[in-house]
């Protein structure tokens, strides 16, 4: 510590001002050292603050982008979910269509098989073939259907033929015999009379009226068409408008 005496002259003045100058110089040097350091620190602080600001901004931007991405993904997921449900709905519809088509195909196959069976229902006996219908028609429609099939209602001309048809018939069936034109005058569909063929198989009832009886209770016009009764292996006359199975021949 330097103690200065203001009363000291000459040499004393020199010492006093030297100390003051040194002190002043030292303060200025210290100031010169501190200011840059403080400036540097301030600069660093500013840079740091800017860096933090940039980072914060970037994080904010990233967060916004992330939110947008999440929103986009959620929207896409929702669309995919909707598409999946739509696809599932269409799949169920296709399955229903498939079942329906299978049903139709099955019906078609059954029909085709039935057609094939009908075609195969032409049974051969001797030199002739016989068709035993599954459908039922009145006598005239039966006659016409046999014609469409390339044949005619059956004409029975022998015991063997009668036995064969009776054994295969399984039901009452129209045959090609009628007395439509003249009551009691039975004619085959080829215009040959029953008397000409030489054989007949009318049902006989020991204790009742034999066939043909031209019974008129059901049809006042009588019974003018002939049925083969497989149960009795015999014939009867019946109202022509009745719907029955029938036998074609070709
Ligand atoms: Ca008759
Ligand atoms: Ca009768």
User: How many Å apart are CA 15 and CA 96, to the nearest integer?
Assistant: 119
**Residue where the block lists tokens 């198989």:** 201
How many angstroms separate the alpha carbon of residue 214 from the centre of ligand 2?
Answer: 5
Residue 122 in contact with residue 129, Cβ under 8 Å?
Answer: yes
Rounded distance between C-alpha atoms, residue 246 and residue 161, angstroms? 15
Q: How far is the CA of 222 from the centre of ligand 1 (A)?
A: 6
Please list the pLDDT of the chain residue by residue as tens digits (250 residues): 444 444 444 444 555 556 566 556 556 666 676 777 788 888 878 887 877 777 777 777 788 888 888 888 888 888 999 999 998 999 998 898 888 888 888 877 776 666 565 555 799 999 999 999 999 999 999 999 999 999 999 999 999 999 999 999 999 999 999 999 999 999 999 999 999 999 999 999 998 999 999 999 889 999 999 999 999 999 999 999 999 999 999 9
Say how many Å lie between the CA of residue 183 and the centre of ligand 1.
5
φ/ψ of residue 6, rounded to 5: -65, -15
In degrees and rounded to multiples of 5, residue 137 shows phi and psi of -140, 165
Compute the distance from residue 237 Cα to the ligand 1 centre, in Å.
7
Domain ranges across the chain: 123-249
CA–CA dist 160, 127 (Å, integer): 13
Q: 101 C-alpha vs ligand 1 centroid, how far in Å?
A: 51
Tell me phi and psi for residue 184, to 5 degrees: 85, -10
Q: Which CATH number, 3.60.10.10, 3.10.20.30, 3.10.100.10, 3.10.20.600, labels domain 123-249?
A: 3.10.100.10
Residue 211 structure tokens: 């066939």
Q: How many angstroms separate the alpha carbon of residue 216 from the centre of ligand 2? A: 9
pTM surpassing 0.95?
Answer: no
Nearest to 145 by CA among 133, 157, 156, 163: 133
């Amino acid at each position: 510590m330097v103690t200065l005496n203001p009363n000291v002259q000459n040499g004393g003045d020199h010492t006093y001002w030297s100390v003051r100058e040194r002190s002043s110089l030292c303060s200025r040097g210290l100031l010169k050292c501190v200011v840059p350091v403080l400036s540097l620190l301030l600069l660093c602080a500013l840079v740091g603050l800017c860096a933090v600001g940039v980072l914060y901004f970037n994080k904010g931007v990233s967060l916004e982008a992330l939110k947008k991405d999440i929103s986009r993904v959620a929207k896409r997921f929702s669309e995919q979910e909707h598409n999946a449900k739509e696809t599932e709905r269409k799949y169920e519809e296709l399955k229903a269509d498939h079942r329906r088509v299978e049903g139709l195909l099955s019906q078609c196959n059954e029909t085709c098989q039935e057609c094939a069976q009908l075609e195969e229902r032409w049974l051969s006996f001797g030199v002739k073939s016989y068709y035993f219908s599954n459908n039922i028609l009145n006598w005239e429609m039966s006659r016409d259907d046999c014609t469409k099939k390339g044949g005619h209602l059956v004409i029975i001309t022998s015991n063997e033929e009668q036995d064969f048809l009776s054994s295969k018939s399984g039901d009452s069936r129209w045959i090609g015999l009628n007395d439509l034109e003249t009551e009691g005058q039975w004619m085959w569909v080829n215009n040959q009379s029953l008397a000409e063929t030489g054989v007949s198989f009318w049902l006989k009832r020991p204790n009742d009226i034999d066939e043909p009886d031209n019974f008129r209770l059901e049809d006042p016009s009588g019974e003018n068409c002939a049925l083969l009764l497989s149960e009795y292996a015999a014939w009867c006359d019946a109202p022509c408008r009745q719907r029955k199975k029938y036998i074609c021949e070709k």
